[in-house]
Amino acid sequence: MNTSRRIRCIAIDDEPPALDLLVSYIAKVPELELCYATHSPLDGFTALQRYPVDLLFIDINMPHLNGLDLLRSLAVRPKVILTTAFREYAAEAFDLDALDYLVKPYRFDRFLRAISKYQQFTGHPDVMDDKAEEVPAEPAHLYFNVNKELIKVYLSDIVYIESIKDYIRVVTDKKTFVTYQRISSAERKLSGTDLVRSHKSYIVNISKVTSKRGNKLFLGRTQLPIGRSYKNQVYELLRRKMELADATVPDAN
């Protein structure tokens, strides 16, 4: 069995969708451990002084501090994979010993090839070698941008999400925070999970529902409305949850 430690990473990209995608790719590879992710190159520079990391994912064209200039400013650099929409920096990037140069938009298989270059360079075991058996899969989670920092939230901790115009309020078992994101965007990311759109203003974690009365869902003392357009998908997911619960009750005989 591979007992090597995980590859510690930092991700820096000023574009929220690009950073979200990169973070989601990192989360899919058990050997990678994300230590810090930020939209700010200045915050990223500080994080690189604070965290001893193995691998840096960094964009090039960013405000206040160009990604290449950030690399030049580091006395000690981790291995680097550049992520950018511009091809013309490739020669300059490799002069700085970048391992790879991912041109946006890039797919997950291309991302894995970049990680393989890191493995070949360092002798780290291949990420594709029995990765599911070697490292237990981490529970499903999302990252939310709160005050210019990405916060990891496990889906099982989310109670509900409320729309506030162009923002959402995320209520979890442990904390509540507001982030700039439309509820429709959150809904797409949560497709296929226990978190389902129950109203134009709400996404609810069906696993947290304690009862339903009329057109209202109750989550402990909290009650949320069920919108007419969403009731069918809410009822279907509730029905499936109840059937699963019934199937796990031991036979009294």
- 3-class secondary-structure state, position 208: helix
Domain count for the chain, please give it.
Answer: 2
Task: Tell me if 147 is assigned to some domain.
Answer: no
Q: What is the pLDDT of residue 6?
A: 84
Q: Please give the residue range of the domain that contains residue 90.
A: 7-134
Asked whether 121 and 79 are in contact (CB, 8 A), the reply is yes
Q: Can you give the CATH number for the domain in which 189 is found? A: 2.40.50.1020
Of the candidates 106, 134, 162, which is a domain's last residue?
Answer: 134
Asked whether 148 and 158 are in contact (CB, 8 A), the reply is no
Q: What is the pLDDT along the chain (253 residues), one digit of tens a residue?
A: 344 578 999 999 988 888 999 999 999 898 899 999 999 999 888 888 888 899 999 998 888 888 888 888 888 888 999 888 777 666 676 667 788 888 888 889 889 988 988 887 776 655 544 443 444 445 777 778 788 676 778 889 999 999 998 999 999 998 999 998 899 988 887 877 889 999 999 999 999 999 889 899 999 999 999 999 998 989 888 887 766 554 444 444 3
Q: What is the pLDDT of residue 51?
A: 81
Asked whether 140 and 132 are in contact (CB, 8 A), the reply is no
Task: Tell me if 210 is assigned to some domain.
Answer: yes
Please confirm whether the linkage preceding 125 is cis (ω < 30° from 0).
Answer: no
Kindly give, in sequence order, each residue whose CB lies less than 8 Å from that of residue 54, ignoring residues fewer than 6 positions away: 7, 8, 9, 78, 79, 118, 122
- Examine the domain organization and report whether 40 and 96 are in the same domain: yes
Task: Tell me if 145 is assigned to some domain.
Answer: no
- Examine the domain organization and report whether 62 and 125 are in the same domain: yes
Q: What is the pLDDT of residue 134?
A: 43
Q: Cα separation of 6 and 127, whole Å?
A: 10
Two tokens, residue 69: 């200039």
- Examine the domain organization and report whether 20 and 103 are in the same domain: yes
Task: Tell me if 105 is assigned to some domain.
Answer: yes
Asked whether 54 and 150 are in contact (CB, 8 A), the reply is no
Q: Can you say how many angstroms the Cα of residue 221 is from the centroid of all Cα atoms in its chain?
A: 30
Two tokens, residue 147: 């005050």
Of the candidates 134, 168, 195, which is a domain's last residue?
Answer: 134
Q: Cα separation of 92 and 66, whole Å?
A: 13
- Examine the domain organization and report whether 121 and 183 are in the same domain: no
Q: What is the pLDDT of residue 2?
A: 42
Q: Can you give the CATH number for the domain in which 22 is found? A: 3.40.50.2300
Of the candidates 102, 134, 166, which is a domain's last residue?
Answer: 134
Asked whether 215 and 225 are in contact (CB, 8 A), the reply is yes
Task: Tell me if 2 is assigned to some domain.
Answer: no
Q: Cα separation of 188 and 36, whole Å?
A: 24
- Examine the domain organization and report whether 107 and 166 are in the same domain: no
Q: Cα separation of 249 and 177, whole Å?
A: 36
- Examine the domain organization and report whether 170 and 124 are in the same domain: no
- Examine the domain organization and report whether 90 and 172 are in the same domain: no
Q: What is the pLDDT of residue 81?
A: 92
